[in-house]
Amino acid sequence: MTHWFHRNPLKATAPVSFNFYGVATTPAATKVCNDLRLSRSRLLELFTDSSCNPEMMKNATDLYFSLLQGFILSLDDSSQECKLRYIQNFKWTDTLQGQVPNAQQDAVFELVSMGFNVALWYTKYASRLAGKEDITEDEAKDVHRSLKIAAGIFKHLKESHIPKLITPVEKGRDLEARLIDSYIIQCQAEAQEVTIARAIELKHNPGLIAALAYETANFYQKADQTLASLDPTYAGKWRKYLNLKTCFYMAYAYCYHGQTLLASDKCGEAIRSLQESEKFFAKAEALCKEYGETKGPGTTAKPSGHLFFRKLGSLIKNTLEKCQRENGFIYFQKVPAEAPQLELKANYGLVEPVPFEFPALNAHWTPETLAAFDLTKRPKDDTAKPKPDEEVKPLKEPDIKPQKDSGCQIS
Q: Are residues 296 and 383 in the same domain?
A: no
User: Can you give the pLDDT at residue 347?
Assistant: 66
* Alpha helices (H) in 294-385, listed in sequence order: 307-326, 367-371
Q: Determine the structural domain holding residue 50 and report its residue range.
A: 8-175+365-395
- 299 occurs within a structural domain: yes
Q: Are residues 369 and 347 in the same domain?
A: no
**What average pLDDT score do residues 284-313 get?**
76
DSSP string, 343-368: ----SS----PPP--PPPPPTT--HH
- Checking if the pLDDT of 77 tops 50, the result is yes
- 194 occurs within a structural domain: no
Q: Are residues 224 and 338 in the same domain?
A: yes
Q: Are residues 380 and 316 in the same domain?
A: no
Percent of the chain's residues with pLDDT above 70: 87
Q: Are residues 165 and 217 in the same domain?
A: no
- 64 occurs within a structural domain: yes
Q: Are residues 77 and 164 in the same domain?
A: yes
User: Can you give the pLDDT at residue 378?
Assistant: 85
Whether the CB-CB separation of 68 and 110 falls below 8 Å is answered with yes
Q: Are residues 85 and 233 in the same domain?
A: no
- 195 occurs within a structural domain: no
User: Can you give the pLDDT at residue 389?
Assistant: 54
Q: Are residues 379 and 335 in the same domain?
A: no
User: Can you give the pLDDT at residue 135?
Assistant: 84
252-283 tens-digit pLDDT: 999 999 999 888 888 888 888 989 999 999 99
For the entire predicted model, the pTM comes to 0.90
Q: Are residues 14 and 162 in the same domain?
A: yes
Rounded-to-integer distance, Cα 21 and Cα 18, Å = 9
- Checking if the pLDDT of 380 tops 90, the result is no
- Give the pLDDT band of residue 311 (cuts 50, 70, 90): confident
- Give the pLDDT band of residue 396 (cuts 50, 70, 90): confident
Least confident range from 21-30, 67-76, 99-108, 390-399: namely: 390-399
User: Can you give the pLDDT at residue 401?
Assistant: 41
E strand or H helix at 178:
helix 177-201
130-145 tens-digit pLDDT: 888 788 899 999 999 9
User: Can you give the pLDDT at residue 104?
Assistant: 95
Q: Are residues 143 and 257 in the same domain?
A: no
User: Can you give the pLDDT at residue 410?
Assistant: 31
How many Å is the Cα radius of gyration of the chain? 25
DSSP string, 194-206: HHHHHHHHTT--H
**What average pLDDT score do residues 349-354 get?**
84
- Which residues, in sequence order, are bridge partners of residue 408? 301
Rounded-to-integer distance, Cα 49 and Cα 205, Å = 40
- 16 occurs within a structural domain: yes
- Checking if the pLDDT of 349 tops 60, the result is yes
Percent of the chain's residues with pLDDT above 90: 62
Last residue in a domain, options 317, 351, 385: 351
**What average pLDDT score do residues 10-27 get?**
94
Q: Are residues 332 and 373 in the same domain?
A: no
Least confident range from 5-9, 32-36, 372-376, 397-401: namely: 397-401
Based on the structure, what is the number of domains in the chain? 2
Say which CATH number the domain at 28 has.
Answer: 1.25.40.280
Least confident range from 26-40, 64-78, 342-356: namely: 342-356
User: Can you give the pLDDT at residue 71?
Assistant: 96
- 2 occurs within a structural domain: no
- 218 occurs within a structural domain: yes
Q: Are residues 224 and 152 in the same domain?
A: no
**What average pLDDT score do residues 300-315 get?**
68
Give the CB-side neighbour count of residue 305, counting CA atoms within 13 A. Answer: 14
Mean residue pLDDT of the chain comes to 87
- 192 occurs within a structural domain: no
